[in-house]
Amino acid sequence: MTKEAFVALVTCFNDDETINFDATRAQVRRQVQAGNNIMCAGTNGDFTALTYDEKVALTEAVVDEVAGRARVIVNAGMPATFETIKLAREFDRIGVDGIAVITPFFIACTQDGLVRHFSAVADAVETPVYLYDIPARTQNHIEPETARALAGHGNIAGIKDSGGAQDTLEAYLAVGREVEGFAVYSGPDHLVHWSLQNGAAGCISGLGNVLPEVLAGIIRAFNAGDQAEAARQQEIFGNFRKDLYGLGYPPALVKRALFLMDNSVGASRQPALLPDPAQDEKIREILVKYELV
């Protein structure tokens, strides 16, 4: 099966923190040109800082800019099932390729609650739904057995694992091998090549915002059967990840690194990372090291 990469696209902002749609469209073109697909309104897209209407307008702009040249997944997940379904139906109307649903945050959920939540969303739309697990941010975790139960739903097509634990990813991959049509996408950027080797359908990467060609290079080499080249590109990707993420909160650092490469992307919405000259200099040194500026 041909593997694929999605980039969890940044949302670009103007100085007054309104969405800069022109700059966001430019980032879409940059990723599509590299050969990557798009996930919008995800963790790296400041989704928690976007209003309902902004998420809809953002998705409309991304789908319009992609114009069928790549696949688009959008995150509809919110704490309450009610609003998640409302958003998912809007994305269904717009015509995306997949609707990701992050686990509810702030609200503590039982595994049964998660089954009811994801099933209700999947029942409400025609677009395939993808589970999205990132327990460090939401405090709710989709247990592998819960993923297995949900994999039997006719409109749940897979899962994005952003937990960072290799054993959990291995368990999800086992579900993918057992349940036909249940695709597993790796979120941790240091496990892209490993996950492909172990049956993942692909990856959804935040770091790909900064290194689109390297991310695409891992996928391209793997699909061509050139494991040595895929490993070489993964080493670059992993080393950059270690250097950058050592400075703090990954999504804010990705956005700041991209800003130092192209200031049209703007800053993150507050109260995320504020511009800091000392930290900017450290980020710039990393960008210079990898010949990105």
Region at 9 (left for phi over 0; alpha for psi -120 to 50; beta for the rest): beta
As a whole number of angstroms, the distance between CA 181 and CA 187 comes to 19
Which one from 3, 55, 130, 132 is the annotated catalytic residue? 132
Contact 240, 289 (CB under 8 A): no
Amino acid at 109: C
Residue 210: name the closest of 289, 131, 270, 100 by CA: 289
Which one from 3, 55, 160, 255 is the annotated catalytic residue? 160
Residue 203: name the closest of 215, 220, 212, 211 by CA: 215
Sign of CA dihedral 153, 155, 158, 161: negative
Catalytic residue status for 132: yes
Q: What is the DSSP letter of 146?
A: H
Any known ligand binding at 204? Answer: yes
Catalytic residue status for 160: yes
Give binding residues as ranges: 204
> Which active-site residues does the annotation give?
132, 160
Give binding residues for pyruvate as ranges: 204
